[in-house]
Structure 1
Amino acid sequence: MNLSDPAFQLELAANIAVAGSILLAGRNNVHTWWLGIAGCALFALVFERSHLYADMVLQFFFIAISVLGWWQWLRGDHGAPLPITSLRPRAWAWLAPLAVLATFGYGWMLTRLTNAYAPYVDSAVLVLSVIAQLLMMRRKLESWWLWLLVNSIAVPLYYSRGLHLTSILYVGFWINALVAQRHWRRLMRGQADASLADAGA
């Protein structure tokens, strides 16, 4: 680990920005979005240098969706901030097959068109992250379960490419996702209790 190495410094800056963003997301703080945009821009450069092209493309998606997520969390659907809600069970009936098909489809494309490392694993990180990010943008509780799965896949992938700092960060993300899921669940119950109290007033 050479602290004067520009590649390490880039990875370190990306990790600091994204770590701050993830911690803020776990606390249901809207400032997660602008900090995440900065971190994702840095990580796009990190992954391009490591030939993890699906992860590089994923960062551009995150930047675009973060702008929308920022607006959604502030404004919601009808001018009010979005509440935390749970995904309807029937949504998984189409989300799960879509995730599998997209993972294999994008992995196959990476295999044919690039020199990507571990294309199908890399693709799984991309696809599941996209779904998790979209759910988080809508403040869906289940987004954190998907982040737990993403982080479980990403840790060994990044470690195998020598991105040791990033793999350690993703271990921290795994822990944060577990804590955040519990925190969001408590907030959601608090919202329900407040609604019942308002209805009874």
Structure 2
Amino acid sequence: MTAPLEIAANAFATAAILLAGRNSIHTWWTGIVGCALFAVVFFQANLYADVVLQVFFVLSSVAGWRLWLRGNHGHALVVRPAELRSLAWIVPLGLACAAGYGALLHFWTDAYAPFADSMVLVFSVIAQLLLTGRRIENWPFWLLVNSIAVPLYASRGLYLTAFLYAVYWVNAIVAWLRWRKLARLQMEGSAVPAEA
């Protein structure tokens, strides 16, 4: 049976994720609430890397909220691609960090699936930082995270969360296409502002 806390966490997180896909500023406050609730859910499931991740999400959501409104010299950030040279080192560094943190969890805690849990942590951090900067490439990283998270959460009995992460996988594809279009329109000077 799904606990009320897991339902509430998923409701706010789903709202935040769908709003992010629509490039809406409201993604941030709904995300803060959802992540705070998820921190408790994951702690109860012994998914400690995910607890740390939720704390990071709360803090980065506060920063993202400000950056989206005023991050470009007092003006709102626009959707844009990341620099290729930045992306070239992100994946190897992410894999190394996930392996290191996974080993730490494996040897020093009773964490369940420490390496998969660490992959979710590290690549979610990368995706979140790209999202905070309104970079298009955040969406492929969310695809990777969701692909790992679905079986991980299902294996811990978090079936609602696993199902919703499968939905988020689809949302990431739709959002990726949408953000690419927004960036193209902004480069042409005909973009509409971010949705409220």
Task: State the TM-score bracket (shorter-chain normalisation).
Answer: over 0.9
Aligned to 1:171: 166
Matches within 5 A, 1:4-19: 8-19=3-14
- Secondary structure of 2:189's aligned partner: helix
The aligned amino acid for 2:150 is: V
Aligned to 2:129: 134
Aligned partners of 1:96 and 1:41: how far apart in 2?
27
The aligned amino acid for 1:169 is: L
Q: Per chain length, whose mean CA-contact separation is higher, i.e. which structure has more relative contact order (CA < 8 Å, sep 6+)?
A: 2
Q: Which entry has the higher C-alpha Rg, 1 or 2? A: 1
Q: How many residue pairs are counted as aligned between the two chains?
A: 190
Residue 106 (structure 1) aligned with residue 128 (structure 2): no
2:42 to 47, 64, 69: 47
Deviation at 1:77, TM superposition (A): 2.5
Aligned partners of 1:38 and 1:92: how far apart in 2?
30
Aligned to 2:116: 121
Residue 73 (structure 1) aligned with residue 68 (structure 2): yes
Gaps of 5+ in 1: 3-7, 196-201
The aligned amino acid for 2:104 is: M
Aligned partners of 1:73 and 1:104: how far apart in 2?
32
* Structure-2-length-normalised TM-score: 0.95
Deviation at 1:90, TM superposition (A): 1.4
Shift >6 Å, 4+ stretches: none
Aligned partners of 1:73 and 1:90: how far apart in 2?
23
Aligned to 1:37: 32
Aligned partners of 2:129 and 2:87: how far apart in 1?
14
Residue 89 (structure 1) aligned with residue 67 (structure 2): no
Deviation at 1:129, TM superposition (A): 0.1
Aligned partners of 1:94 and 1:146: how far apart in 2?
14
Aligned partners of 1:178 and 1:151: how far apart in 2?
11
Aligned partners of 1:77 and 1:111: how far apart in 2?
41
Percent sequence identity over matched residues? 56
What do residues 155-196 of structure 1 show as CA deviations (whole Å, max 9, x unaligned)? 00000000000000101100111110011111111101117x
* Structure-1-length-normalised TM-score: 0.93
